[in-house]
A and B are shown apart, each in its own frame.
Chain A
Amino acid sequence: MLYLNNLAKRYGKFYAVNGLSLHVPKGDLFGFVGPNGAGKTTTIRMMCGLLKPDFGDIIVGGNRYSTDKNAVKRCMGYVPDFFGVYDNLKVYEYMEFYGSIYGIDDASVKRMTSDLLELVNLSNLEEQYVDTLSRGMKQRLCVARALLHNPELLVMDEPSSGLDPRARVEMKQVLLNLNSMGKTIVISSHILSDIAEMCTSVGIMNRGKLVTAGRMEDILSLGINNHHLIIDIKSDMETAIQKVREIPDIGIDSVMEGQIVIACSGEDEQINRIMIELMTGGVLVGGFRKEEQNLETLFMKLTGDDINVNQGMPMGPVKGGMNR
């Protein structure tokens, strides 16, 4: 459905997006995650024709952006992260306006509007002025607007920003409904739990590059030592750390006050061996707990370290601080 081919956007010498290639198959609900300044918005804006890529191409539904802009625009609906509505315009007139841009006649728009408003839980609001709607309602209206020309692909930048928990759940429900109706959806978000819950595939971006992308379950089983074993230590920390270092095939993820976090594969035998090694080594263990890899821990791991630092890139614009 959507192919991004070696996409790049440069601001001066700084690559906001650098050589990004991605394929989102038809029917997927794809989530873009990444720290602030990773380049998600930049990528999405290039996908929608709001920014000119410096390199690369975008192919949507078999149409190339560089050769057939209009065909791409026809099969894509876009909901920006920040957007406004017109004053002095009623909801149905708002829909009518965008409908007429796509050459849909007023009668059809009227029919579709009531269907779409129902889909986004805004039924019977046709007569209300758009600027009097709440933030969450505007957001859902904007989704309805983006669906008016029946695009195959819906692109949303941060659909849950600025929404209260209830509105967020509602938005999630709307997106899941749309996805079950066969729409391909691409969203970007910071709320990893939302993404993990609803997306079928995910891409993690950091500093302009796609660190990893794929189906959710494949992504979550990524890496060898992808489980965390958190052990409370009641005796001397130094000896405990020393003992853990002697055990093969595991690593120390982090050390906190009275606690060691060990990265391991998570099998019961391995955990037992670790505990035995520690106890026979004279370490007093207060308790322990196993944590499976989830999107959040993976996200921290993949975006926290500096493996993916681009050369010649100023550190300034990247709002880091994602390390534990």
Chain B
Amino acid sequence: MKISLKNIHVNPIMKKDLRIRSRSMKFAWGLFAFEAVLGLVFFFAINLMSLDRYGYTETYKALVYMFPVIGAVELGILSLIIPIETASAITSEREKQTFDILLTTVMTPMQVIRGKVNSATFHMMIYIIASIPLMAVAFTVGGLSWWALLGFLITSFIFAYYVGSIGILCSTLTKKSIGSIVLSYVFMGIFFGGSWTPMAIILMFAQSSGVEELGALTLLFNPAVSFVMFFMTAMGAGDEDIFGGMLIKSPLVWMIVSFSLMIGLSLLFQWFASTRIDPVRGYKERSQTKAGVQ
């Protein structure tokens, strides 16, 4: 079979959403603002590094740190943007009254949800890819391996997919866009911040009881922690540098376990979201009871 772009089946919703979104002025300005912030961070960081403390060679070497700095800022911004982008994915279709038509087509609720998650993920990847030129300084000048860039793209992809799935789920939990935005910030708060609680509690009350390490397990669901792990690996930190009480000592193993869990959880969120939008879930023919007939 001839392989051409036309033969690849793309989820129709994803195609439509990306087309609509890339045409909106909001997207253009968003991208502009995003790049502007990153640019500012970049120059600020360069300035700090080139303060007289370093010689030229040192400055070049220090450029390596652009990678985690820009990467972290980028993901911070995206964590703020994604809920807004995704939380309205379903509610806005409802508000626009296009959702009913969608549900009467042959698309299954799961396909609808997948399309929405995918378009959110790819949309976020556009931001990530747009920032590569800035980051490239760390690679070309700083001498970081290109594998690190590939790793960064994969990590970002999983991050966007995970956070996007949370946002889409929130979008199906409330009727109004504003409610689901708030809800998805709450969810994000739980995953980013709340996942530290077991560890904190154990450290406070059960210090040196031998279970400290178990408290770190919930951190496997924290996308920010896996990012730190990624940057540590990419920057060549050794296994012994990892946070003291962690159960899994190798950042690489940590990342693999964490990513698998996050993808699994994403699929679970998507499944749950699809049950939320299915108007006739579990419909079986039932004969009318006595109470109904008159």
The answer, among A6, A15, A49, for a CB contact under 8 Å with B279, is: A49
8 Å CB contacts to B: which residues of A21-80? 48-57, 64-66, 69-70, 73-74, 76, 78, 80
A residues within 8 A CB of B283? 52-53, 65-66
User: How many pairs of A and B residues are in contact by the CB < 8 Å rule?
Assistant: 103
B16 contacts A89, C-beta separation under 8 Å: yes
B294 to chain A, nearest CB (A): 6
A54-B15 contact in complex given A80-B97, A85-B98, C-beta closer than 8 Å = no
B residues within 8 A CB of A267? none
Q: Is A18 positioned at the interface, with any CB of B under 8 Å from its CB?
A: yes
Q: Is A19 positioned at the interface, with any CB of B under 8 Å from its CB?
A: yes
A8 contacts B100, C-beta separation under 8 Å: no
B288 contacts A86, C-beta separation under 8 Å: no
A18 contacts B106, C-beta separation under 8 Å: no
Q: Is B280 positioned at the interface, with any CB of A under 8 Å from its CB?
A: yes
The answer, among A66, A78, A97, for a CB contact under 8 Å with B104, is: A78
A residues within 8 A CB of B105? 73, 98, 101-102
A49 contacts B104, C-beta separation under 8 Å: yes
The answer, among A73, A86, A310, for a CB contact under 8 Å with B294, is: A310
B residues within 8 A CB of A8? 288, 292
8 Å CB contacts to A: which residues of B85-123? 96-98, 100-101, 103-107
Chain A residue nearest in CB terms to B289: A55
B294 contacts A19, C-beta separation under 8 Å: yes
Q: Is A128 positioned at the interface, with any CB of B under 8 Å from its CB?
A: no
* Interface residue tally on A, bucketed by range: 35 or more
Q: With the chains together, A55 CA to B292 CA distance in Å?
A: 9
Q: With the chains together, A55 CA to B288 CA distance in Å?
A: 5
A51 contacts B279, C-beta separation under 8 Å: yes
B279 contacts A97, C-beta separation under 8 Å: no
Chain B residue nearest in CB terms to A5: B285
Per-residue interface assignment for chain A, residues 74 to 104, with 1 indicating a CB less than 8 Å from any chain B CB and 0 otherwise: 1010101011111111000100011011100
B residues within 8 A CB of A145? 101
Chain A residue nearest in CB terms to B98: A84
A17 to chain B, nearest CB (A): 10
A51 to chain B, nearest CB (A): 6
A83 contacts B98, C-beta separation under 8 Å: yes
A3 to chain B, nearest CB (A): 12
* Interface residue tally on B, bucketed by range: 20 to 34
Chain B residue nearest in CB terms to A106: B6
Q: With the chains together, A139 CA to B91 CA distance in Å?
A: 22
The answer, among A76, A80, A88, for a CB contact under 8 Å with B100, is: A80
Per-residue interface assignment for chain B, residues 15 to 53, with 1 indicating a CB less than 8 Å from any chain A CB and 0 otherwise: 110011001100000000000000000000000000000
B96 contacts A86, C-beta separation under 8 Å: yes
Q: Is B286 positioned at the interface, with any CB of A under 8 Å from its CB?
A: yes
Q: With the chains together, A208 CA to B69 CA distance in Å?
A: 64
B279 contacts A52, C-beta separation under 8 Å: yes
A6-B20 contact in complex given A49-B104, A50-B104, A84-B96, C-beta closer than 8 Å = no
Q: With the chains together, A139 CA to B49 CA distance in Å?
A: 62
8 Å CB contacts to B: which residues of A87-129? 87-89, 93, 97-98, 100-102, 105-106
B25 to chain A, nearest CB (A): 10
B20 contacts A73, C-beta separation under 8 Å: no
A89 contacts B19, C-beta separation under 8 Å: yes
A residues within 8 A CB of B281? 52
A311-B294 contact in complex given A49-B279, A51-B280, A66-B285, C-beta closer than 8 Å = yes
A72 to chain B, nearest CB (A): 10
Chain B residue nearest in CB terms to A66: B285
B98 to chain A, nearest CB (A): 5
A78 contacts B280, C-beta separation under 8 Å: no
The answer, among A6, A64, A84, A97, for a CB contact under 8 Å with B287, is: A6
A residues within 8 A CB of B288? 6, 8, 19, 55-56
B residues within 8 A CB of A55? 286-289, 292
Q: Is B129 positioned at the interface, with any CB of A under 8 Å from its CB?
A: no
B residues within 8 A CB of A51? 279-280
8 Å CB contacts to B: which residues of A236-288? none
Q: Is B293 positioned at the interface, with any CB of A under 8 Å from its CB?
A: yes
8 Å CB contacts to A: which residues of B238-294? 279-289, 292-294
B residues within 8 A CB of A49? 103-104, 279-280
A82-B285 contact in complex given A89-B16, A93-B19, A97-B12, C-beta closer than 8 Å = no
8 A-B pairs with least C-beta separation: A84-B97, A100-B12, A55-B288, A84-B96, A66-B285, A57-B285, A88-B23, A78-B104
Can you list 10 residue pairs at the A/B interface with Cβ under 8 Å? A6-B288, A15-B292, A48-B104, A52-B283, A57-B285, A65-B280, A69-B280, A82-B97, A89-B19, A101-B105
Q: List B residues at the A interface (Cβ < 8 Å).
A: 6, 12, 15-16, 19-20, 23-24, 96-98, 100-101, 103-107, 279-289, 292-294
